[in-house]
């Protein structure tokens, strides 16, 4: 198995989209259309790059499974984001409240990451 095979998928898919992008430019797509489509192709290509980089970085520790624990951190952080969002509707005083939740969630994750939990066999 080719270790980089996975990255081929988004890269190839992005390149194929690039082809349609060129056709669009040739057939009179407006500037907004072209920017949007270019942006999407870029995101896909970045995803492919991340795949290659992670393969390169984590080759050696591939067998270790840090199982993300502290699931409550996710809920707390998500709630915090929503509260921050409500700040845009109801007023800026939501921002510190939501921000506190986000920080709390992040702190839980960081603490948990300090002790990496390998997968029990």
* 49 to 68: interface string for another protein, x by CB under 8 A: -xx-xxx--xx-xxxxxxxx
13 versus 95: smaller Cβ distance to another protein: 13
CB environment 19-49: b (16+ within 10 A), e (fewer):
eebeeeeeeebeeeeeeebeeebeebbeebe
90 binds another protein (CB under 8 A): yes
Q: 121 to each of 54, 112, 117, how far by Cα in Å?
A: 24, 20, 12
Among 38, 56, 72, 110, binds another protein (CB under 8 A): 72
| Residue 119 interacts with another protein (CB under 8 A): yes or no | yes
Q: CA 21, CA 24: separation in Å to the nearest integer?
A: 5
Among 38, 56, 77, 107, binds another protein (CB under 8 A): 77
Question: Is the Cβ of residue 68 or residue 96 nearer to another protein in the bound state?
Answer: 68
Residue number, 5 or 103, with CB nearest to another protein: 5
Largest CA distance in the chain: 58
């Amino acid at each position: 198995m080719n270790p980089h095979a996975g990255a081929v998928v988004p890269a190839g898919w992005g390149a194929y989209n690039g082809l349609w992008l060129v056709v669009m430019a040739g057939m009179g797509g407006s500037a907004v259309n072209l920017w949007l489509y270019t942006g999407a192709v870029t995101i896909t290509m970045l995803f492919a790059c991340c795949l290659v980089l992670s393969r390169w970085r984590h080759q050696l520790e591939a067998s270790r499974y840090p199982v993300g624990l502290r699931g409550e951190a996710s809920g707390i952080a998500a709630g915090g984001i929503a509260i921050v969002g409500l700040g845009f509707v109801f007023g800026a005083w939501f921002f510190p409240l939501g921000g506190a939740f986000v920080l709390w969630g992040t702190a839980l994750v960081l603490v948990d990451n300090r002790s990496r939990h390998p997968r029990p066999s």
